[in-house]
Amino acid sequence: MSTFPRISLRPEVTDYLKNVFLNKEVLAAVGHQEAESRFQRLLTCLSHPPSYTCVRASTHLAPLEEIRHKLGEELKKQMCTSSEKEVSVQILSHPRIPDVLLLPVDGPRPVEQLRSEVVVGAQCGSAVLRGANVFVPGILASPKFMKAGDVVSVFSDLEGRCTRGATSFQGMRGFVGNGVAQIDRSGIFCTDVAAKGVGVRMVEPLYQSPSFDGVLPNLAFLQNLPSVVVGHVLGPLPGERILDMCAAPGGKTCHIAALMRDQGEVVALEKIKNKIDRIRQNAKMLQLNSVKVYCFNSTKAVSSDSAQEHEGPPFPAESFDRVLLDAPCSGLGQRPSMSCTWSLKELCSYQPLQRKLFHAAVQLLKKGGVLVYSTCTVTLAENEEQVAWALETFPCLTLQPQEPHIGSEGMLGAGLSPEQLRLLQRFSPELTWDQTGAAAPLPYRADRDTIGFFIAKFLKK
């Protein structure tokens, strides 16, 4: 159901994406009307959250059913404190992915807008739609005399035009629900020290989903379904040496180590220094000792010294059994995303970087090894076109079947054959947006109502 306007993009970016989704190959296959309809559905579904929350269970620490039971009990306690009614929590296991739990999202709900309004940034608004409270740094505007305890309506600034500290805002915005202020206005804007913590506790969100803040942190890890699929597609085995080239925040790194039962070595590289601690914290919290984290630029991860003795990067060629290249990308598949202010130049800047990383990945992979390439974007240039380029540039690579394969096949437009497209996995929520009713079984909806995502699996001959 459409509640918000389409994602707000610069006109040049909208035109670029329209040309992608209405390319000649697509038009020849499905016709102009269907191609146009898919594109419009994409713009709409991107601004809305998926109809469920996906949790990756730490099955290396406890059985799935035990985790499901504990999670249900914890969420009941949380919901009982905010409601006088008896609450029930529906948690389902995924039929094909053994470490995934699914929780339905209730929304959009009939929530009445109030006269007292708080405006938050688009990123904060998106987090609220997925079950979060409003944290103080995300607040841009509030009533002039707002006090802790006031009930307020929360709106998301869709175009990034609200001035921080304003008392009102009449620009493009999206209503995300009602909450209770936890802090006076003066504590948000009139202080020399940046305030932290919860600024508005959401009591009537437009989309109701559990808050996982502090809930079973070592057993239940929030992760989008396609991101969990990536780890299984890579297929890590105990005793192997595996490289995660762009590892932050460490969700996929830790999943790989868990799938290996913490036996072997998972090398995580991340070039941004302040993201390193998060990866280490996640590994420690999940009791994974096989993860080794380094602050390093993966484009420079190949050493010319084949006899080097130090264990860290750069590494000699053919050092790893499997490589995950979850590449930096334009992120246009993320949901919900009500606004993206990037220019077309910024959007197109990722393809060259991805190719540099690809060169390093192929060199570092052993013969007979597996390379998985993934992104959370919807463009051809960063997905299918990269596959076509890789197959031409590296004759040693061949596409491989993926398991599980619960998404769609690759998108037409990059000159790949039908057989090659079937080996790719593109999660395309626009294909079924507004067509899969809430009455459909949750696992059926979960496989389709995802973020936009792409996975390709290669074997190095």
Q: State yes or no: 326 annotated in a binding site.
A: yes
Q: 331 — alpha (psi -120 to 50), left (phi > 0) or beta? A: left
Q: State yes or no: 252 annotated in a binding site.
A: yes
Beta bridge partners of 47: none
295: annotated active-site residue: no
Whether 243 contacts 323, CB under 8 Å: yes
Q: What is the Cα–Cα distance from 237 to 291, expressed in whole angstroms?
A: 14
Q: What is the Cα–Cα distance from 54 to 36, expressed in whole angstroms?
A: 30
Q: State yes or no: 336 annotated in a binding site.
A: no
Whether 5 contacts 26, CB under 8 Å: no
Whether 23 contacts 380, CB under 8 Å: yes
Q: What is the Cα–Cα distance from 244 to 131, expressed in whole angstroms?
A: 29
CA 234 to chain centre: 18
Q: Return the sign of the alpha-carbon dihedral for residues 171, 172, 177, 182.
A: negative
Q: What is the Cα–Cα distance from 51 to 376, expressed in whole angstroms?
A: 18
Give exposure, 21-34, as e/b (b: 16+ Cβ within 10 Å): bbbeebbeeeeeee
Q: Hey, how many other C-beta atoms are within 10 angstroms of the C-beta on 199?
A: 28
Q: State yes or no: 165 annotated in a binding site.
A: no
Q: State yes or no: 430 annotated in a binding site.
A: no
DSSP, res 213: T
What are the backbone dihedrals phi and psi of residue 237, each rounded to the nearest 5 degrees, phi first?
-120, 150
Q: State yes or no: 369 annotated in a binding site.
A: no
Catalytic residue among 45, 124, 254, 376: 376
Q: What is the Cα–Cα distance from 350 to 310, expressed in whole angstroms?
A: 31
Per the omega criterion (within 30 degrees of 0), is the bond before 104 cis?
Answer: no
Q: State yes or no: 138 annotated in a binding site.
A: no
Q: How far is CA 155 from CA 43, 118, 173, in A?
A: 20, 6, 6
Q: State yes or no: 441 annotated in a binding site.
A: no
Q: State yes or no: 197 annotated in a binding site.
A: no
DSSP, res 383: T
CA 83 to chain centre: 30
Active-site residue list:
376
- Residues annotated in a binding site: 246-252, 270, 326
- Residues annotated in a binding site for S-adenosyl-L-methionine: 246-252, 270, 326
